[in-house]
Amino acid sequence: MQSILKPLLMVAAMAVGIISVATLPARATLELNVNKGNVEPMPIAIPDFQGGLGPQISEIVTADLKRSGLFAPIDKAAFVEKITNPDAAPRYEDWKVINAQALVTGSVSKEADGRIRAQYRLWDIFGNSQLAGEQFFANDANQRRVAHIIADAIYEKITGEKGYFDTRVVFVDESGAKNARKKRLAIMDQDGANVRYLSDGRAIVLTPRFSPNRQEITYMSYESGQPKVYLLQIETGQRELVGNFPGMTFAPRFSPDGQKVIMSLLRDDGNSNIFAMDLRSRSTTRLTDSTAIDTSPSYSPDGSQVVFTSDRGGGSGRSQIYAMGADGSNPHRISFGDGVYSTPVWSPRGDLIAFTKQSGGEFQIGVMKTDGSGERILSSGFQQEGPTWAPNGRVLMFFRDSGGGPKLVSVDLTGRNEQPIPTANYASDPAWSPLLE
């Protein structure tokens, strides 16, 4: 086995105990262009991986790729060749006859030290070649992570873009009667697995947001009867108060470097303006100074601009989307559509801004270019809001209440691949993590 997998690169992630060893792939001929307006899902065959845990790992890989909307896993009942040696080249003709364009083979075994070893190979069926092959070592607690990492590697090799499967989502878990709802901070894998609670539900929590470069979140809590902004280290549970602000605090988000938090503060004069706080010095800078309601700020990925909503254009409650420099300079309106806009958030790719819009009695999740042009609605419903981006900028997650309570939903940029995210209880306010290290 070791002679087949020639080690070229070893990366250790000490926090999670995963080591990957990459092999030299053949020249890639298989390609999926995700920038086209219409993307036909690529037929891909993923037989069960060999070994006791193999079927579980390959099932997660299959589910990840299918959920992306870019891959169409072929029914196993159609397979002609039975894979018995995942390291051997497949019988390409047997896979061509069922129109598989790519094939994934793999195995999972136990090492003497108790770790699992998972390996996969990606084959280009019509190119008659191997595209990639890697193996990963992990403890039992990271079995699902290994599967997500394999799915990410396949996604990137075929699409040319980073995957987003080895990520987590922090959200507000809601349980109990509607008039006495218990709200807890919770975190899970992006597919809804491995839910863990970060708060006990004794105080209402709102708008958790991930740091772009650490496993740290900012969120609001009503522990003292007034909303306060906290920072929470997810792995250690260490928590600190960002600051005591007079009046109400809304929608805190991190800057791209993780060194600042930007938020909306409601002063005694009834005006809501945008402020940024340096997390090291705790110094606060006011970015807007208007008699309007300015709220929901979000940085561009390079940190040079901020997008926010404001009703400064006139009309009670008729908020539109504005952009300005990160220092508050040159605020200008970028949205001009009918309806009320809210919760704008910049794509990590820097090319789009996602938003919620109320129009025609519906709540809509949409995207627009950064100058406000090219607005597209991806999803409409009775009540839905709070979009958050996957780290590759190809998928959005949001929450929808179709009656009874909110649930999480994802949708890709085509608007045609909408997927429910399973949670045990009601769920709202999702925030997607960066790729895990």
pLDDT tens digit string along 5-29?
222 222 223 233 444 444 534 444 6
Contact indicator for 104, 61 with CB cutoff of 8 Å = yes
Strand 102-110 relative to strand 42-45, pairing? parallel
Contact indicator for 386, 399 with CB cutoff of 8 Å = yes
Q: How confident is the model at residue 265 (pLDDT cuts 50, 70, 90)?
A: confident
pLDDT of residue 213: 78
pLDDT tens track for 103-118: 999 999 999 998 999 9
Give the separation between CA 24 and CA 198, rounded to whole angstroms. Answer: 41
pLDDT of residue 316: 52
pLDDT tens track for 282-332: 898 999 998 888 999 999 999 999 999 999 886 555 899 999 999 999 999
Q: Helix, strand, coil: what percent of the chain each, to 5?
A: 10, 45, 45
Residue 2 has pLDDT above 60, yes or no: no
Give the separation between CA 30 and CA 200, rounded to whole angstroms. Answer: 49
* 230: Cα within 13 Å, side-chain hemisphere: 23
pLDDT of residue 100: 97
In Å, what is the CA distance from 276 to each residue of 9, 211, 212, 243, 320?
41, 15, 16, 12, 21
Strand 182-189 relative to strand 168-175, pairing? antiparallel
Higher pLDDT among residues 323 and 338, named by residue:
323
| Averaged confidence pLDDT in the chain | 88
Higher pLDDT among residues 44 and 9, named by residue:
44
pLDDT tens track for 340-370: 999 999 999 999 999 999 998 899 999 999 9
Q: What's the predicted TM-score (pTM) here?
A: 0.89
Residue range 59-66: mean pLDDT, rounded = 97
Task: Give the percent of the chain with pLDDT over 70.
Answer: 88
Please list, residue by residue across 70-106, b when 16 or more beta carbons sit within 10 angstroms of its beta carbon and e when fewer do: bbebbeeeebebebeebeeebebebbeeeebbbbbbb
> Which of 351, 414, 363, 405 shows the shortest CA–CA distance to 387?
363
- In the sheet with 340-346, reading across from the earlier edge strand, the strands are 340-346, 352-359, 362-369, 376-381
Q: Which two tokens stand for residue 147?
A: 């599967």
pLDDT of residue 314: 66
Strand 418-421 relative to strand 406-412, pairing? antiparallel
